[in-house]
């Protein structure tokens, strides 16, 4: 897995996994159990604060409190702090979901005593010695030394160039299946540095919609990606959650049947998530590959903070309903961004203002010309085009000229190419344009 760093838009980070085998379990177990105890302390303390003062404790508060605990001194200070940070990430995720109407979400909970919690080593928590990593524990304890295979820090980019990454974060995770620890895996995150991106070249623009993504390029190519399959999987996932919730509400919490139902729910959701993620990866990979093949230097996506999307769906106040029934745009954008980066394409987000109510060909604006059934019908230049393709072409103009209104299209477009998910080959394939109707 890879992503682009927050510190610099072109910084590429990538995680590699190294299975360690169960022989090293005795080395790591004390640290993992200590991390678990810190997690449980976080749960306990913030519950008490919530009960007594009706507020959530702050990160700094808990860190300061735990510093004197014996268990804190088992780990490297940064590793101990990382557990508290993870806890607060979970809390904020929980609160965000509640705000978005997922009332079935539970706050982060206690873990069983023997749970092997993932331990994180930040930059100062480990040293590199040739082909091995020295993972520090607290000052009084011996560090853990892990030997890694040769070439462990080498990464090959899609264009074939090899780079050597600088490790910036190390995690050790337990692989547990049916309550049995099967393996320990080392996750090493590498910083591959700031990747050079093409400075000149074509531009492509993407318009993400509920079941469609439209693409327009400066060279006149139009693509339409039908994502109904992803959307229906997302909706099916929501229905599955609701069904389980309904079933579990009738059972006694913590009872055997309730627990069985919960593990069935987790299994089911994991499977559905895998399918959704697979399709999302295939889609964003296709975008990056098309951009690379066509020599695109800048890929433009709509700015997610834009209000257009909520305004258009007519659900301005109903944040909850809207969020639940949509694809994960921010996740798709993040994936597209790093896949582009690995191919030297820069991703920019740009305002979608007026892009759905303007003619991409002549630049006349009239919101009424966006006809139902997803067509744009221009009364001025007589252009008839699929409305999302019109939106993508306008986003392209907006990026080039600053505004899409009043500007004519710099190139002419060919027949749109239509792509749809193919279940048999597990990828998006090109189909006849009729399939879009």
Q: What is the 3-state secondary structure (H, E, C) of 266-329?
A: HHHHHHHHHHHHHHHHHHHHHHHHHHHHCCEEEEEEECCCCCHHHHHHCCCCCHHHHHHCCCCH
In angstroms, the CA 111 to CA 59 distance is 19
| Segment interacting with Zn ion, rule: CB under 5 A, options 224-232, 281-289, 379-387, 415-423 | 379-387
| Segment interacting with Zn ion, rule: CB under 5 A, options 129-137, 163-171, 380-388, 396-404 | 380-388
| Segment interacting with Zn ion, rule: CB under 5 A, options 32-40, 141-149, 220-228, 374-382 | 374-382
Closer to Zn ion by Cβ: residue 203 or 359: 359
> Minimum distance from CB of 308 to Zn ion (Å)?
20
Give, as one character, the DSSP assignment of residue 372. Answer: T
In angstroms, the CA 38 to CA 32 distance is 10
Give, as one character, the DSSP assignment of residue 408. Answer: -
Question: Residue 381 interacts with Zn ion (CB under 5 A)?
Answer: yes
Structural tokens at position 113: 């005593």
In angstroms, the CA 107 to CA 287 distance is 37
Question: Residue 380 interacts with Zn ion (CB under 5 A)?
Answer: yes
Closer to Zn ion by Cβ: residue 268 or 370: 370
Question: Residue 359 interacts with Zn ion (CB under 5 A)?
Answer: yes
How many other C-beta atoms lie within 10 A of the C-beta of residue 385?
20
Question: Residue 362 interacts with Zn ion (CB under 5 A)?
Answer: yes
In angstroms, the CA 420 to CA 426 distance is 10
Closer to Zn ion by Cβ: residue 302 or 363: 363
Decide: helix, strand or coil at residue 193.
strand
Question: To 10 degrees, the CA torsion angle through 371, 332, 273, 223?
Answer: 50
| Segment interacting with Zn ion, rule: CB under 5 A, options 204-212, 222-230, 351-359, 368-376 | 351-359
Question: Residue 230 interacts with Zn ion (CB under 5 A)?
Answer: no
Q: Extract long-range pairs of 425-434: CB within 8 Å, 24+ residues apart.
A: 426/278, 426/282, 427/282, 427/286, 428/225, 428/282, 428/283, 428/286
Question: Residue 176 interacts with Zn ion (CB under 5 A)?
Answer: no
| φ, ψ at 7 (rounded to 5°) | -70, -30
| Segment interacting with Zn ion, rule: CB under 5 A, options 86-94, 285-293, 357-365, 396-404 | 357-365
Closer to Zn ion by Cβ: residue 135 or 378: 378
| Segment interacting with Zn ion, rule: CB under 5 A, options 107-115, 319-327, 381-389, 421-429 | 381-389
Closer to Zn ion by Cβ: residue 242 or 381: 381
For Zn ion, the binding residue among 378, 389, 392, 393 (CB under 5 A) is 378
Question: Residue 307 interacts with Zn ion (CB under 5 A)?
Answer: no
Give, as one character, the DSSP assignment of residue 415. Answer: P
> Minimum distance from CB of 62 to Zn ion (Å)?
59
Question: Residue 328 interacts with Zn ion (CB under 5 A)?
Answer: no
> How many chain residues touch Zn ion (CB under 5 A)?
7
> Minimum distance from CB of 380 to Zn ion (Å)?
5
Q: Extract long-range pairs of 20-28: CB within 8 Å, 24+ residues apart.
A: 20/146, 20/172, 20/183, 20/184, 20/185, 20/186, 21/183, 21/184, 22/181, 22/182, 22/183, 22/184, 24/146, 24/184, 25/181, 25/184, 27/144, 28/116, 28/119, 28/144, 28/172, 28/184
Closer to Zn ion by Cβ: residue 247 or 365: 365
Question: Residue 12 interacts with Zn ion (CB under 5 A)?
Answer: no
Question: Residue 383 interacts with Zn ion (CB under 5 A)?
Answer: yes
| φ, ψ at 144 (rounded to 5°) | -95, 130
Question: Residue 389 interacts with Zn ion (CB under 5 A)?
Answer: no
Closer to Zn ion by Cβ: residue 359 or 395: 359
| Segment interacting with Zn ion, rule: CB under 5 A, options 79-87, 212-220, 341-349, 359-367 | 359-367
32 closest CA partner among 134, 130, 117: 117
Per CB under 5 A, which of residues 258..297 are in contact with Zn ion?
Answer: none
For Zn ion, the binding residue among 28, 88, 206, 361 (CB under 5 A) is 361
Closer to Zn ion by Cβ: residue 329 or 407: 407
| Segment interacting with Zn ion, rule: CB under 5 A, options 71-79, 117-125, 308-316, 356-364 | 356-364
Site residues (vs Zn ion, CB under 5 A)? 359, 361-362, 378, 380-381, 383
């Amino acid at each position: 897995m890879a992503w682009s760093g927050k510190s610099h838009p072109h910084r590429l980070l990538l995680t590699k996994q190294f299975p360690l085998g169960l022989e090293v379990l005795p080395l790591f177990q004390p640290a993992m159990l200590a991390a678990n105890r810190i997690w449980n302390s976080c749960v306990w303390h913030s519950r008490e604060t919530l009960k007594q003062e009706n507020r959530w404790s702050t990160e700094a508060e808990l860190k300061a409190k735990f510093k004197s605990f014996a268990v804190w001194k088992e780990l490297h200070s940064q590793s101990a702090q990382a557990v508290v940070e993870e806890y607060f990430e979970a809390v904020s995720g929980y609160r965000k979901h509640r705000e978005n109407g997922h009332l079935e979400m539970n706050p982060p909970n206690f873990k069983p005593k023997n749970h092997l919690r993932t331990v994180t080593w930040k930059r100062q928590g480990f040293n590199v010695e040739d082909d091995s990593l020295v993972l520090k524990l607290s000052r009084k304890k011996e560090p853990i030394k892990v030997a890694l295979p040769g070439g462990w820090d080498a990464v090959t980019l899609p264009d074939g160039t090899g780079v050597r990454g600088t490790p910036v974060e190390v995690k050790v995770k337990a692989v547990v299946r049916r309550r049995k620890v099967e393996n320990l895996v080392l996750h090493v995150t590498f910083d591959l540095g700031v990747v050079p991106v093409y400075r000149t070249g074509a531009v492509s623009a993407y318009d993400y919609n509920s079941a469609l993504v439209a693409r327009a390029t400066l060279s006149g190519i139009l693509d339409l990606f039908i994502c109904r399959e992803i959307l229906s999987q997302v909706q099916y996932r929501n229905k599955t959650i609701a069904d389980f919730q309904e079933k579990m509400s009738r059972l006694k919490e913590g009872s055997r049947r309730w627990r069985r139902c919960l593990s069935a729910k987790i299994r089911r959701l994991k499977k559905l998530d895998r399918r959704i993620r697979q399709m999302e990866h295939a889609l964003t990979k296709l975008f990056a590959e098309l951009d690379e093949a066509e020599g695109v230097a800048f890929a433009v996506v709509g700015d997610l903070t834009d209000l257009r999307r909520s305004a258009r769906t007519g659900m301005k106040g109903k944040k909850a309903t809207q969020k639940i029934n949509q694809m994960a745009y921010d996740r798709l954008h993040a994936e597209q961004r790093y896949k582009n980066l690995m191919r030297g394409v820069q991703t920019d987000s740009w305002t979608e203002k007026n892009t759905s109510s303007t003619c991409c060909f002549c630049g006349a604006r009239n919101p009424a010309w966006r006809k139902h059934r997803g067509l744009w019908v221009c009364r001025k230049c007589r252009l008839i085009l699929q409305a999302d393709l019109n939106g993508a072409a306008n986003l392209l103009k907006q990026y080039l000229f600053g505004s899409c209104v009043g500007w004519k299209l710099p190139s002419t477009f060919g027949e749109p190419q239509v792509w749809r998910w193919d279940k048999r080959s597990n990828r998006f394939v090109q189909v006849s344009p009729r399939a879009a109707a």
